[in-house]
Structure formats: C-alpha cells, structure tokens
Amino acid sequence: MRVLVTGASGLLGRAVAAEIVAAGHEVTTFQRRASGVDGVTDVLGSVTETDAVARVTQDVDAIVHLAAKVSLAGDPADFDRVNVGGTRNLLAAASAAGVEKFVFVSSPSVAHAGASIVGDDALPADPEHARGDYARTKAEAELLALAADSPSLRVVAVRPHLVWGPGDTQLVARVVERARAGRLPLLDSGAALIDTIYIDNAASGIAAALERVDVVHGNAYVLTNGEPRPVAELLAGICGAAGVRAPGWSVPARLARGAGSLIERAWRIKPGVDEPPMTRFLAEQLSTAHWFDQRRTRADLQWAPAVSLDEGFRRLAESYGRP
C-alpha cells in the first residue's frame, strides 16, 4: 500500500511513519522539515498549501494525517488555517485523487468540556464546548473528516491520549524543565486519575487503524495504555526517569483555573517566548479525571498496547542515561 503520512517531523508522526514502513508499506511523508525516518520519501511542504497538497496526494492509496498546530496559546487564525483548513485541503485532494483510506489523528480534547471523563468511550467531538483553540479546531477538523467518510474514501478518527516517551519535547521535556525549576505544582494534590499512552503504543494503534479502516471507517476511537494513574504518580514517574525531584507542593485547582484564565488573556496581549505556564485548559487537564473504556477500541482495531507504563518509564530513564 502507498501511504502518505503528514506531520512526520514530530515525535508521534515519526513513530507512525516508521511503524508503517516496518509493516511493509511504501511511505511518503509530508511536512515542513525532514522527518529523519529511514525508508520513507520526504516531501517538504505545508498542508495549508493547496497546490502542494494536490501534488503529494497523487498515486497514494491511503493518508494518515497528523500535521497540526499544537499549542496551548497562539493566534486563533493560525489554528484554523492549519488544523481546519489543512484537513479540508487534504480531504478535497484525497477525494480528487481517488485515495481510498484516510486516518485522521485527533485528540480526546475534542470531546472534553471541562468535566471529568470516567470510563467513557469516544464521545462526540464538540467544537462549541472544547477548551482552547487547539481542541476547538481539532474537533472541527474531526467532524469534517468523518463527514467525508464514504464507500470510496473510508475515514476513521483516532485520538491518542497524552502521548509520551523518549525524545518528547512537549509533555516530558516541559514537565522535567518545570520540575527542575521548582515551577511544577500538583493541583488538588494530583489525585485526578488520568490515562496516557506510551509512544510505541500510540504508533502501533494508529497503524492498526490504517489496516482496519475498511471495517471501522466512520468511527472515532480513543487510544490509551489502559492504565489510568493519579496525576501525581505519572509526574513522579517522568521526573524520576529524568533524575529530578517530583513536585511536592499543591495548589487548589479552582485557583489554578482562575490564574490560567488570567494568563491566557495576558498572553493574547503580550505572548511569551514559550508556552504559558498555566491555562484554564491545562488546569482542568491536571485536576479532573479523564480515563477511557478501551474495550471497543481494542476489539475493533484488533490491537493492544505492547509497552506497559512501568516499562515506558524504564525506557525513558534509559534515554536520560539512568539505570
């Protein structure tokens, strides 16, 4: 099968492209910088460029779409242009080129409205109530993708939840950096129970969705390790792997949410050089339960995670040169 993978310069995109190559498929990657994945053909460009998207989708059997603007802050128009407009461009080009399969890589945040998620399956994407521009635009894009599902273009959405592992510059690097600087509090003592997924498992789950799209198209699936743990325990695992002190101080979640809202407003006026230290969405993520029923996902995709969280922490420690 000839597969186009967008966004393969990021941690998850690289892992997905490598997984699909290992399965014996011919892979082309499409992103703004080289993927660094062995065995693929890199094409540089952006999903916002209509002509480039039209060219790269020629002679392709399937598309796995990961390219997105991922951030806690930024110009809302940028999120719309990349996440919604880019997906619209790919869907139109895929339809015109006769592409048969389309895997849209989404996020559980598309259905998170601030309340706890306790053992739910994949809830409907809800852009109206999604928290923040990333979640809002990913929800809009997922709805566009699933609306395009048809006998000729079979579409499935997969939502890996809090992907982490060696080389992660998003979750892991920021947790370690803030813990090292003493700027990583627990919210409500870090008691909220949440799901995450190790990078290898996320990649294999997305590859499984590609292989099963003929059967599961039209549906959305959440991918997790199926091992929900308290936030404090997960942060301690990451910090321990990196050899830094785990957060030991706590603030009330309601105060963090209020502070996050204020920081978001200030960031719009005068953005900092990095992500804001707190947003309302981040405070909600760190203080509300969000873990998912994986029975339908595993049965439909015929998939199960191969790397446990504890083994993931061991591999993460190894990447930091720790025993």
Distance of CA 96 to the CA centre of its chain: 27
- Distance between CA atoms of 323 and 309, rounded to whole angstroms? 16
- Do residues 117 and 291 make contact, with C-beta atoms less than 8 angstroms apart? yes
Tokens 């789950």, located at residue = 205
Residue 221 annotated to the active site: no
| CA nearest to 116, candidates 253, 223, 221, 226 | 253
Angle at 10 between CA 8 and CA 14, to 5 degrees: 45
Backbone angles phi, psi at 19, to 5 degrees: -65, -40
Question: Which of 134, 198, 221, 320 is an active site residue?
Answer: 134
List Cα–Cα distances, 229 to 122, 279, 294, in angstroms.
19, 22, 15
CA dihedral 75, 78, 83, 87 (to 10 degrees): 160
Residues marked as catalytic: 134
